[in-house]
Amino acid sequence: MRDTASSSASYDATRHRVASYFDGTATRVWERLTSDAPVSRIRQTVREGRDTMRAMMLGQLPGDLTGARVLDAGCGTGAASAELAARGADVVAIDISPKLVEIAAARLPEGLRARVTFKAGDMLAADLGHFHHVIAMDSLIYYTRPDLEAALDGLSARAGQVVFTVAPRTPLLMAMWNAGKVFPRSDRSPVMIPHDWRRMAVAGLDRVGRVSRGFYISECLRVRP
């Protein structure tokens, strides 16, 4: 049996690095990227790709989520949390960046606030409880395969299904990744680690689909019950 990711020194180090990035210079970049504000051509492709991926992931969940408890693991600025709540779910929206959680809470429509509980912290925290569904959009893309597999073990042990994304090992993405050109140098994110999903040792793993839009390339996967 694998050690849980929460006890992994590499997992903790990566989590700290990602939290520092999103709570530092990147906060305003991501606040703008996830809004309707004008952005550069490069960031526009990222925005469009993320919107498409979010729709793909949410498409794996029922349209009516009344009575369901859903974990938005790595909620960012809260777009998926709002959609889940609008479908009737009771949502726990958690992110390691307190600043992004503040933005998400401020953006949530008033009529949905009773359905969403915002938390700043680790998506693997045991005290979050059990869920019917977990979605983790681009929040696991920075982790090594052992830490990613352990995280999925932990999440799937307390959820009906887990829908998540990885950075796929495509020639194009690997070239951009190796060159360090996925984001402009001034606001480049922590290094993501591409994975071949077929090599992941995770029970019940299915491929859903891939989104490739300019500088955004991500693969949607699902761990079924």
The predicted pLDDT at position 208 comes to: 98
Between CA 114 and CA 85 the distance in angstroms is 9
User: In this structure, which amino acid lies at residue 34?
Assistant: T
pLDDT digits (tens, 9 = 90+) for 112-158: 999 999 999 999 999 999 999 999 999 999 999 999 999 999 999 99
Between CA 201 and CA 152 the distance in angstroms is 10
The predicted pLDDT at position 178 comes to: 59
CATH (domain of 125): 3.40.50.150
Mean pLDDT, the chain cut into blocks of 10 residues (225 residues total): 60 92 91 96 95 98 98 98 98 97 98 98 96 98 95 96 94 59 51 92 97 93 95
Are the beta carbons of 132 and 68 closer than 8 angstroms? yes
The predicted pLDDT at position 95 comes to: 98
Structural domain harbouring 182: 5-223
> Strand, coil or helix: what is 193?
coil
Number of domains in the chain: 1
CA 28 to chain CA mean position, Å: 18
The predicted pLDDT at position 25 comes to: 81
Are the beta carbons of 8 and 128 closer than 8 angstroms? no
CA-to-CA dists, residue 171 to 49, 145, 177, 182, angstroms: 18, 19, 10, 13
The predicted pLDDT at position 176 comes to: 57
**Rg over CA atoms, the chain:** 16
Residue showing tokens 């959820």:
159
Are the beta carbons of 221 and 206 closer than 8 angstroms? yes
